[in-house]
Amino acid sequence: MSHTRLAAVAGSFYPAESTALSHLVQHYLNEPTSLATQPDSLPEQPPKALIVPHAGYIYSGVVAAQAFRLLQPFRKRIHHVIVLGPVHRVAVRGLALPGADAFSTPLGSVAIDAAAVQRIESLPQVSTSVAAHAWEHSLEVQLPFLQTVLHDFTLLPLAVGDATPDEVAEVLERLWGEDDTLIVISSDLSHYLSYDQAKRSDSQTVARILQFDHHISHHEACGATPVNGLLELAQRHHLRAYLLDLRNSGDTEGDKDRVVGYSALAFYEADHAQH
Q: Where are the chain's structural domains?
A: 4-33+44-273
Q: Please enumerate, as own/partner, the contacts of 19-27 that have beta carbons within 8 Å and a separation of 24 or more.
A: 21/105, 21/106, 21/107, 21/144, 22/107, 22/144, 22/148, 24/57, 24/61, 25/61, 25/65, 25/144, 25/145, 25/148, 26/148
pLDDT of residue 18: 98
pLDDT of residue 274: 43
For residue 273, list its beta bridge partners. Answer: none
Rounded-to-integer distance, Cα 27 and Cα 65, Å: 9
Instruction: Select from 141, 54, 132 the least CA-distant residue to 97.
Output: 132
- Please state the pTM of the whole predicted model: 0.96
Residue 247 has pLDDT above 90, yes or no: yes
Q: Please, what is the average pLDDT of the chain?
A: 95
Rounded-to-integer distance, Cα 33 and Cα 169, Å: 30
DSSP state, residue 30:
T
Residue 273 has pLDDT above 60, yes or no: no
pLDDT of residue 10: 98
HSE at residue 74, side-chain half, CA atoms within 13 A, is 21
Question: How much is the CA Rg of the chain, to the nearest whole Å?
Answer: 17
Q: What is the CATH number of domain 4-33+44-273?
A: 3.40.830.10
Query: For 148-183, how does the pLDDT look when each residue is reduced to its tens digit (9 = 90+)?
Result: 999 999 999 999 999 999 999 999 999 999 999 999
Rounded-to-integer distance, Cα 50 and Cα 131, Å: 26
pLDDT of residue 223: 98
pLDDT of residue 275: 39
Query: In a 10 Å sphere around its CB, with 0-12 CB exposed, 13-18 middle and 19+ buried, how is residue 196 labelled?
Result: exposed
Answer whether 150's CB lies under 8 Å from 107's CB.
no
pLDDT of residue 78: 98
DSSP state, residue 112:
B
pLDDT of residue 40: 67
Residue 270 has pLDDT above 90, yes or no: no
Residue 6 has pLDDT above 60, yes or no: yes
